[in-house]
Chains A and B, each alone.
Chain A
C-alpha cells in the first residue's frame, strides 16, 4: 500500500476484537449480595458493544488514521492498543513500546515543578532515566517554557501546561506512536510546530496511529484510513477515499 510496507514487519495486530462495556449500577457489596441471594434476578447492569469483531493489521512505518463519528469506538480501540483496556474477545498485539499523544498531561502533578513533571511524566510514558536526561533540554526547548521549568506547574497558563505535556509526549520515542486529537494543543504557531513534528516522525518511518476529527489534517499526515462505525470496521484504504466516505456518511446521517 505504501513504500513503507515493504519492510513487512507487523507493528499492531488486532484480531477479531470485541469489547463490551458494562454499565454497572451498583457500587456496594450489600446490593451485589442481595442480587445474588435473589437468584440473580433483575438486571444489575446494562451492556453495550463498543467494538465488534474488529481486525486490523498495521505494518511498521505505516501512518494510519482511525476515523469515525463520535461513539464509533475509536477511543476504545486506541485504549486497547495502548494496553489500558483489555479485549473481551480476540487479541491485540503490538511490537515494542506503545505511547504517544494520548491523554496529554495525565500524570502531571500540580504541586511539582515543570522539571519534576518532565521526569515523572516521562517515566510514566515508559522512558528510562537516561533517556529523559538525554532528552531534557530538547523537551524544554520544544515546549518554549524556558526559565519557568523550575516553577510549579499550577502557576502555568493552560497553554504552557499543554505545551510542556505535548513536548514530553512527543519526545518519548516509542516504536508505535498513538495520537489522539493532535490539535487540542496550544495556540496556532505551536499547533503548526506540533504538526510539523508529527510529519517529521512519519517521514522518519515511525508507525503512527492517529485519531482525529480534523479530516484535512489527518489526510496530510496519514496515508491509510480506517473507518469505524458502531464498533465495526466499515472501510480500510487510502486516506482520502476513507475521508470522502466519512464525509458522505455524515451528510447522510444528518
Chain B
C-alpha cells in the first residue's frame, strides 16, 4: 500500500506453496518446536505408563538379547562388558528405527493438515526425527550413568565422537524419512518396506556381535558392510562408551579392537553417504510434495 503508482504493480509477487526444502524448516523453527512439543506431549496421552513406554522397547530388547545371546550363546564370555556393548548399540539403533518409522508415516499421518493449509511439509519428517531424539536423550543418560559406574572417563574426543555419530544417524534418518515419507503418499507399500528395513538394521550393524566376526566372513568385501553409516555410528558408540570401560587385560584381547581407520576413513565416508542420502531424499521429496495435497 506504500508502493507508488509508478512502481511495477507486480514486483514482489511470489508463487505460493513453493517450498525451499529444509531451509524452510529452519525458517519455521518456532513451528517445528511446537510440533515437536505437541508430539512429545500427545504420544502417550491416556496411557497409564506414559513416557515409560519409550524405555520399554529398548529395555526389553536389551533384556532379550542379553539373555539369549549374552547368556545362552555365551557371547559375554568372549566380549568383555557385553551388556554395555549391547546397550550402547541398541539405543542408537532404536533412535534410528523409531525416527525413520515415524518420519515415513508423518506425511500420511498429517494428511488432514497438509490437505488444508500450506506449510513446509519437510517439517513433519524433521519433527518426527526430533521427537525420537527427545526420547533418545534419557536413554543416553542411563548409558552414561552405567558407564561411569564401570569407570568410564569421558574425554573431549569421545564426547565429540558421540555427538558426531548421533548427528550422522539423525541426518540419515531425515534423509531416508523424506524419501520414504514422500513415496508413502503415493504407494503405501513404502511403510511396509521401511518396516522390513527397520527389522534388518539391528542385525546389519555390529550391535549384537563384533565387527571382526564380519570381517572374517566377508574378507575383501568388508568395506561394503562399512559403507552403512549406521554401522559406523554403532562402532563409534562402542569406541566412545564401551571401550573406555575395559581394563588393561580386556583391552589387549582381540575383541576390544576398533575397526582400523574408523575416524580417518569410515567416519568421513559415513558422513558423505549420509549427505548423499539427504540430498536424494530432499530431491525426491521436493518433486513429490507438489502434489501431496491432492494425492492424500
Q: Which residues of A contact B (CB under 8 A)?
A: 6-10, 13, 21-22, 24, 27-30, 32, 59-61, 79-86, 91-96, 98, 102-103, 106-107, 109, 111-112, 116, 119-120, 123-126, 128-129, 205
Contact = CB atoms under 8 A, between A and B. Distances in A.
Main secondary structure of the interface of B (DSSP, over half): loop
B5 A124 contact: no
B42 A111 contact: yes
Main secondary structure of the interface of A (DSSP, over half): mixed
A182 B113 CA distance: 20
Contacts of B187: 27-29, 32
16 contacts: A59-B9, A79-B293, A80-B16, A84-B116, A85-B17, A86-B290, A92-B15, A93-B16, A94-B15, A95-B12, A111-B45, A112-B41, A112-B42, A120-B34, A120-B38, A123-B28
Most chain A beta carbons < 10 A, residue from B7, B17, B38: B17
A128 B13 contact: no
Nearest to B39: A109
A106 to B, nearest CB: 4
A82 B117 contact: yes
A86 B291 contact: yes
Nearest to A12: B13
Contact of A8 (B5, B117, B119): B5
A93 B15 contact: yes
A84 B112 CA distance: 12
Interface residues of B, number: 39
A93 B42 contact: no
Contacts of B41: 111-112, 116
A81 B13 CA distance: 12
Contacts of A7: 1, 3, 5
Contacts of B16: 80-83, 92-94, 98
A85 B293 contact: yes
Given A28-B189, A61-B1, 4 more contacts: A29-B187, A30-B189, A98-B16, A124-B31
A12 B46 CA distance: 46
The 4 closest A-B pairs by CB, nearest first: A83-B17, A83-B16, A83-B118, A103-B116
Contacts, number: 114
Nearest to B42: A111
Interface of B: 1, 3, 5, 7, 9-10, 12-18, 28, 30-31, 34-35, 37-38, 41-42, 45, 112-119, 187-189, 290-291, 293-295
A24 B295 CA distance: 8
B10 to A, nearest CB: 5
A112 B38 CA distance: 8
Most chain B beta carbons < 10 A, residue from A8, A59, A80: A8
Nearest to A125: B117
Nearest to A20: B294
Given A116-B38, A124-B117, A124-B119, A85 B294 contact: yes
A100 to B, nearest CB: 10
B259 to A, nearest CB: 37
B133 to A, nearest CB: 20
B156 to A, nearest CB: 35
B158 to A, nearest CB: 36
A3 to B, nearest CB: 13
A142 B115 CA distance: 27
A13 B10 contact: yes
B117 A10 contact: no
Contacts of B28: 123
B294 A102 contact: no
A29 B188 CA distance: 8
Contacts of A103: 116-117
A111 B37 CA distance: 12
Contacts of A8: 3, 5, 9
Nearest to A103: B116
A79 B114 CA distance: 11
Contacts of B38: 109, 112, 116, 120
A129 B34 CA distance: 10
Nearest to A132: B30
B30 A84 contact: no
B117 A95 contact: no
